[in-house]
Amino acid sequence: MSLKQQQYINGKWVGAISGNTRDIINPYNAEVIATVPESDETDAKVAIAAARAAFDMGEWSSTPGSERGAIVRKIAELIERDKEELARLESLDTGKTVVESRGDMDDIAGVFRYYAELADKDGGELIDSPVPNSISKVVREPVGVCGQITPWNYPLLQASWKLAPSLATGNTLIMKPSEITPLTTIKVFELMEEAGVPAGVVNLVLGAGNTVGAELSSNIDVDLISFTGGIVTGKKIMQAASINVKKLALELGGKNPNIIFADADFETAVDQALNGVFFHAGQICSAGTRLIVEESIHDEFVHALVERVKKFKLGSGFDEDTQMGPLISAEHLGKVEKYVETGIKEGATLAVGGGRPEEPELQKGFFFLPTIFTDCTTDMSIVQDEAFGPVITVEKFRTEEEAVKLANDSIYGLAGGVWTNDIVKAERCVAKMRMGTVWINDFNLYFPHAPWGGFKQSGIGRELGRLGIEEYTETKHIFQNIKPEPINWF
């Protein structure tokens, strides 16, 4: 592997101060694929100091937006140049199919291109001042030092949603990828160095959440913390960030309803209900794992899903005919197994799957069969909790109102879908669905131009789109008196 198996602090590739390392595991066969530094709070403090000094020096924040944009565009070009290497690295690290990883790399380059274009587009706003002889204007400035913490399921994609807008707006940053999937993030730091990002502006620290992540969340020199991950960690970060009232952006989990009306195009809805869940073995925050199906087509719909699921080809992400890879780790496999056991205990009916595959070649990896539960109700924990694996729960409904009520019965509010050929009905449902993204006759589509984020406990703030850039800026009002004179009050 030509990758530097190190972290990047203040423009230098370094190991952990303690000398500790961590093995990175291939989820397909549990083999070690890399060994990287395992840092702790001490290394995080050094990286934070570097980012603070770089920001306070002001070189990057005062670089014209067009020049910052050119560097961000260069990063996009380098990602496109190294797309195949990056995609293979992502599949090696996560187990997802290389076809999916290639798609991710296209999306990631697109995110850098999108924010490169926005880097010089905000010249501020002149206000029509109510005060005579004055100029009132509003400008947006970088927030400062940003701590960025990412999960293991879409390692580089989630990193790109943070790196590109924060760089375009002139911030400095410290990124901590998930300790189990750091490889493509390391590679992109190599590319950012090659693109000419100045030393200290971008810093990469590798280590665990309760050490490096906790330091980033609580250190008073960090002005903003942007986190993507689980709800439990999100709550801890929110608490830690209160130390200096950091700005906070949280992209948390989801339990995403997918409503199928009887008048939807049947074949398309079946196909897309599968697509909406089983990519990356269901390890997707916005996976449509909560199917809510109109009673009149329920049995036929479930039958069609089950017949398709039985034929899924599980295997190595590098085999072109593999449709679904493994789960990320032995620990996560254990969690999904427990979730399925709970479903059975709660009285849901197992329609297909429910265990590990039997093929000898899949025994070393962390594989779990695609699974469908029917006879599910909202009081079951399997309907309320994120499975983060290849598991669908199916509920039935009779009326439109009931469908929407079921869909909203959740602490989460990340995403949802509605399938129907009656567009007025779809619009009525969407207006009542409490989620950050709702798809009509589609599922799981996202692109850099539209914001992404959650209602309710799925998060705070938005990534992507223009809102994604606003997360990384502070708003300043500047008032100028152009005819100053004494008031003679005192």
Among 75, 186, 197, 252, binds ligand NAD (CB under 6 A): 252
Sketch the per residue contact string, 434 through 453, with ligand BTL: x for CB under 6 A, - otherwise.
Answer: ------------x-------
Distance CA 277, CA 293 (A): 15
Contact string 280-319 vs ligand NAD (x = CB under 6 A): -----x----------------------------------
| Contact by Cβ (8 Å): 60, 68 | yes
Tell the smallest beta-carbon distance from residue 266 to ligand NAD (Å). Answer: 29
Nearer to ligand BTL, 71 or 415 (CB): 415
Is position 242 an interface residue for ligand NAD (rule: CB under 6 A)? Answer: no
Give the three-class secondary structure for 308: helix
Closer residue to ligand NAD (CB): 254 or 354 = 254
Separation of CA 28 from chain center: 22
For the chain, counts of helices (H) and of strands (E): 15, 22
The reply to whether 158 sits near ligand NAD by the rule CB under 6 A is yes
Pairing status of strand 455-456 against strand 412-413? antiparallel
Residues pairing with 145 in the sheet:
172
Tokens of 315: 């295997």
Q: Is 386 near ligand NAD (CB under 6 A)? A: yes
Q: Are strands 145-149 and 172-176 parallel, antiparallel or unpaired?
A: parallel
Question: Residue 249 carries which side chain, given as an amino acid letter?
Answer: A
Nearer to ligand NAD by C-beta: 142 or 229?
229
| Contacting residue, 86, 285, 429, 469, with ligand BTL by CB under 6 A | 285
Burial of residue 220, with CB atoms counted within 10 A of its CB: 0-12 exposed, 13-18 middle, 19 or more buried: exposed
Residues belonging to the chain: 490
Q: How far apart are CA 60 and CA 410, in angstroms?
A: 43
- Give dist(CA 137, CA 141) in Å, integer: 13
In the block, tokens 């992404």 appear at 452
- Contact partner, 157, from ligand NAD, ligand BTL, none, Cβ < 5-8 Å per class: ligand BTL
Q: Are 87 and 107 within 8 A, CB to CB?
A: no
Of the residues 150, 169, 286, 457, which one makes contact with ligand BTL according to CB under 6 A: 286
> CA-CA distance, 464 to 454, in Å (whole number)?
13
Which of 436, 430, 431, 433 lies closest to 463 in space, CA to CA? 436
Is residue 387 involved in binding ligand NAD (CB under 6 A)? no
Structure tokens at 15: 């190991």
Tell me the closest approach of the beta carbon of residue 35 to ligand BTL, in angstroms: 27
Q: Which is nearer to ligand NAD, 38 or 386 (CB)?
A: 386
The residue among 318 and 446 lying less far from ligand BTL, judged by its C-beta, is 446
Compute the least distance from the CB of residue 452 to ligand NAD, in Å. 6
Q: Does 251 bind ligand NAD (CB under 6 A)?
A: yes
Residue from 144, 229, 357, 413 binding ligand NAD (CB under 6 A): 229
Among 213, 282, 325, 389, binds ligand NAD (CB under 6 A): 213
Q: Which residues bind ligand BTL (CB under 6 A)?
A: 153-154, 157, 284-286, 446
Q: Which residues bind ligand NAD (CB under 6 A)?
A: 149-154, 158, 176, 178-179, 208-210, 213-214, 217, 228-230, 233, 236-237, 251-254, 285, 386, 388, 414, 454, 459
